[in-house]
Structure 1
Amino acid sequence: MVNRREQAALLLALRDSGRGWADVTNAVEEAGSALAVLDSLFTPDQPTLDHTPFDAAGRLELVEQEIESWAGEGIHLVTVLDEQYPVQLLMVHQRPPFLTCKGFLDPADQLGVAVVGSRHAGARGLQITREIATTLTKHDITVYSGLAAGVDTAAHQAVVDAGGRTVSVVGTGLRRCYPAENAGLQQEIARTGAVLSQFWPDTGPAKHHFPMRNAVMSGCSVATVVVEAGERSGTRIQARLALEHGRHVFLLPEVVSGTTWGREMAERPNTTVLRDPDHLLGVLDELRAGVPDLIDL
């Protein structure tokens, strides 16, 4: 892990420089140090957002204290400069400059699979979700999902019930929970797996946060399974992003037959129409065999 001051410098630059996250992230990654680029981000013609003089030492100390307060609540910070930052996620354009985490990151998560679908899934969709999540757990595969109602909740709960590892990527800060009724499940996931967020801890839910969350979930995993989704379901965003990221997409037959985008996506390379959990495992064995070579590059 980089030192706390480097982490604080990155957060300070992201929050107060007035520059876009991509600009800040690119500058920091190129320099290999947030402290090294801090002065260039706060120039006389680039005032701070609150229009006050830039006091680097004072502001850094305040941000360090803020990070320490998060740690006191069990919220850990991981930045793009940290070795613990998910390797798979580093490879995608939409990688966030930092993640906050409750729980713990595990190297095995880089071979994890996202299981997503409708918030209003029917009984069959929820049952298939549980079967898929339980099968993945029995084969020691981390299951990612987004803690939303419906399919996400069923996937997370099935893994928890089976004693496996699940990672929730959420669209709020870690001091919040959406939907509120999943607060207990979020705490259980943090105890046995991890809850990840790309937002400041107090951030509430917002519509534009969830596609951002989907990009992170796709980036962290080797594949995405879409169990149930409608024509306008937000789940299609993750399926599209997964293909853009070079990840595999599994579609349930109901998604293909029930949506225009599902039929179109089923014809694209790197997409499989899933027959059953055993079919999923067979394709995953092929995908997982290639991941170490990709990471070594």
Structure 2
Amino acid sequence: MDRLTEHAALLTLLRGRRRQWGLVADEVEETGSALRVLEADTNADQGDLFAGFPDGMSGALDAARETLLGWDAQGIHIVTLLDADYPAQLLTVHQRPPFLFFRGSMSPDDAAGVAVVGTRAASAEGLRRAEEIAAGLARRGRVVVSGLAGGVDTAAHRAALREGGCTVAVIGTGLFKSYPKENAPLQEKLAREHLVLSQFWPESPPTKTSFLMRNGVISGYAAATRFATVEGRWRPRSASPRRLLPVRVPGSAGLLYQLHGMAIGVLDERDPEPTFPEGVGGAVVRCPGAE
């Protein structure tokens, strides 16, 4: 089956369906074809899936193909969980998105990237720390992944760019939107020179739920996550709390992060070795600190 038709079938399933996207993703992945799921799913729970299309499924697929080609002409591409270039690490994430829209270029090097995250309302010291971490990662050839929000995210992206490094933005809106609005020029630059990802329809506005969902993709897209700041009322961001282990390293803001079934100590170079929880295997990723 050609890729465009499979993408069109998945688009049709998700746009007209009342079931959760995660359940649709499970069904499509198990079947190995969005088109086969669409063809088989002709019973009453289809609702108004083909409403407005005199030719039924054929008309809906043609409309979806036209939509996809229109987005592609505007530089917005799509990869689905059935495609070989879908990020392999994301397939292990609970409620992984059935597709990702992106502008820019996805690279195999992204899989070894480190997410730098923190609060939008960071102090001057918090922003300095985020810049320091991101710059150190970029100098070592690591891809810096963040969310293009204000505060720590923006500082991390800009620091990676200053060092000539690669940086990936995973945003909480559709690719036609920018949040915050003042980051629109930065988003455009990353789309031209690096990569901007979204799990939402291109026209989707920001919502509280969308940012929580976005955080899960950030954590799954990168190999590890570095919390640049733990300030004020901020708490580590994740759409999947089970992926965080509540273990702190004495004298450090570092946390142990559960990734793919094991604990990863995402720590500063100067932090002591952590003690992993009983019964949990672990490894340590050292992120650069002050030099």
SS at match of 2:122: coil
**Could you tell me how far 1:103 is from its partner in structure 2?**
0.4
Q: Which residue of 2 aligns with 1:290?
A: none
Which residue does the alignment assign to 1:174?
175
Q: 1 CA distance for matches of 2:105 and 2:172? A: 18
Question: Is the 2:115–2:146 contact (alpha carbons within 8 Å) kept by the matching residues of 1?
Answer: yes
Q: Which runs of 4+ in 1 moved over 6 A?
A: 248-252
The one-letter code matched in structure 2 to 1:155 is: A
Check if 1:119 corresponds to 2:100.
Answer: no
Given the superposition, is the C-alpha separation of residues 251 and 134 from structure 1 closer, same or farther in structure 2, using an over 3 Å criterion? farther
1:12-161 correspondence to structure 2 within 5 Å: 12-48=12-48, 55-161=56-162
Equivalent pair of 1:172/1:209 in contact (CA under 8 Å): yes
Task: Name the counterpart of 1:274.
Answer: 268
Instruction: Give the drift of 1:242.
Output: 4.2
Q: Could you tell me which residue of structure 1 aligns to residue 276 of structure 2?
A: none
TM normalised by structure 2 equals: 0.83
The number of aligned residues is: 273
Matched residue, 2:209:
208
SS at match of 1:213: helix
How far does residue 228 in structure 1 lie from its aligned partner after superposition?
A: 1.3
Gaps of 5+ in 1: 257-261, 287-297
Distance (whole Å) between structure 1 residues aligned to residue 118 and residue 231 of structure 2: 9
Q: Distance in 2 between matches of 1:151 and 1:270?
A: 22
Q: How high is the TM-score relative to the length of structure 1?
A: 0.82
More strand by share: 2
Answer whether contact 2:50 2:56 (CA < 8 A) is retained.
no
- C-alpha distance in structure 1 between counterparts of 2:83 and 2:250, whole Å: 37
Distance 1:241 1:70 in 2: 35
Instruction: Output the CA distance in 2 between the equivalents of 1:158 and 1:276.
Output: 21
1:84–1:272 Cα change, 3 Å: closer
Deviations 1:225-247 (A, max 9, x none): 11113464353436945437xxx
**Overall identity of the aligned pairs, in %:** 43
Name the CA shift for 1:269/1:37 in 2 (closer, same or farther; >3 Å): closer
